[in-house]
């Protein structure tokens, strides 16, 4: 699994560990306001739901929604998986905001767009335990995540259980990428600092995580057919 970050015109990232990068304040305040608005318009159609743990059925403290052709869901019976429809409304997910697809095009160094954008909403004491993102076939694609709203303590370690972890505070407008040797690194959110940002009117933190789920299809000439490498991402191409 090889992965190198693409050059970013706006800023240099901090390398958290090999393959894991943090861009501080990559989104300006205006971009954050716009992305929040794009997010909430879509969440009005795909409302936040509370996934449940496989087997125990315990509810997550984080509320979730998804954008894109595939959304990540979890419930007691069928566990972690991607589904094309919202588990409560039965509707297909809204499209991924074009600004997010542009960010993927700038940073992901991957020839096709993501099909999935998980939307995590943290309020109060909501947190996310250490886990790996490994429900995707396309593990050669990085995971790219954007924070909006309250600061959060992001915890990350290696791919093996029991490896030492480190923590760093991430803030609204920050972008994290985990690819190559960090694609399967364990990560989570210990807690959020309630009230540290006024971006979200009722408070809290929203994290938008883009992932490529399926391996790109290979055409008869051995080329990927989903999208030619480096083709520009046009506005409104919400479905991977």
Taken in order 240, 69, 46, 198, the sign of the CA dihedral is negative
120 binds, among Mn ion, ligand SIN, none (CB under 5 to 8 A by kind): ligand SIN
Backbone angles phi, psi at 29, to 5 degrees: -60, -45
Closest to ligand SIN by CB, 39 or 207: 207
CA distance linking residue 49 with residue 72, whole number of Å: 11
Give the shortest CB-116-to-Mn ion separation in angstroms.
Answer: 12
Closest to ligand SIN by CB, 211 or 226: 211
Which residue of 65, 73, 207, 226 would you call a contact of ligand SIN, by CB under 6 A?
A: 207
CA distance linking residue 108 with residue 7, whole number of Å: 10
Closest to ligand SIN by CB, 51 or 180: 51
Footprint (CB under 6 A) of ligand SIN, residues 115-134: 118, 120, 128
CA distance linking residue 53 with residue 160, whole number of Å: 21
CA distance linking residue 158 with residue 18, whole number of Å: 10
Q: What is the dihedral of CA 86, 52, 179, 219, to 10 degrees?
A: -40
Give the shortest CB-208-to-ligand SIN separation in angstroms.
Answer: 9
Give the shortest CB-55-to-ligand SIN separation in angstroms.
Answer: 20
CA distance linking residue 143 with residue 184, whole number of Å: 9
Closest to ligand SIN by CB, 73 or 128: 128
Footprint (CB under 5 A) of Mn ion, residues 117-136: 133
Closest to ligand SIN by CB, 110 or 121: 121
Q: Is 104 helix (H, G, I), strand (E, B) or coil?
A: helix
Taking CB atoms, the residue at the shortest distance from ligand SIN is: 207
Task: Give the side-chain half-sphere CA count within 13 A for 229.
Answer: 6
In the complex, the residues that contact ligand SIN under the rule CB under 6 A are 118, 120, 128, 145, 154, 187, 189, 207, 209
In the complex, the residues that contact Mn ion under the rule CB under 5 A are 133
């Amino acid at each position: 699994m090889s992965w190198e970050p693409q050059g970013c015109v706006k800023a240099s990232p901090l390398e958290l560990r090999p393959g894991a990068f943090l861009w501080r304040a990559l989104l300006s305040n205006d971009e954050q306001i716009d992305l929040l608005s794009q997010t909430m318009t879509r969440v009005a159609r795909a409302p936040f739901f509370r996934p449940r743990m496989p087997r125990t059925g315990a509810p997550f403290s984080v509320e979730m929604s998804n954008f894109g052709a595939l959304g990540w869901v979890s419930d007691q019976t069928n566990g972690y998986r991607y589904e094309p429809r919202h588990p409560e409304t039965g509707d297909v997910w809204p499209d991924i905001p074009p600004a997010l697809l542009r960010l993927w095009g700038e940073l992901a160094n991957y020839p096709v767009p993501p099909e999935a954008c998980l939307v995590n909403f943290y309020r109060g004491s909501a947190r996310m335990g250490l886990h790996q993102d490994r429900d995707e076939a396309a593990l050669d694609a990085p995971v790219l995540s954007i924070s909006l709203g309250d600061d959060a303590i992001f915890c990350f370690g290696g791919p093996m259980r029991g490896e030492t972890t480190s923590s760093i505070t991430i803030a609204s407008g920050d972008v994290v990428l985990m690819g190559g040797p960090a694609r399967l690194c364990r990560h989570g959110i210990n807690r959020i600092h309630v009230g540290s940002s006024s971006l979200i009117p009722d408070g809290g933190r929203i994290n938008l995580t883009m992932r490529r789920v399926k391996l790109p299809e290979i055409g008869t000439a051995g080329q990927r057919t989903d999208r030619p490498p480096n083709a520009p991402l046009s506005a409104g191409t919400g479905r991977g």
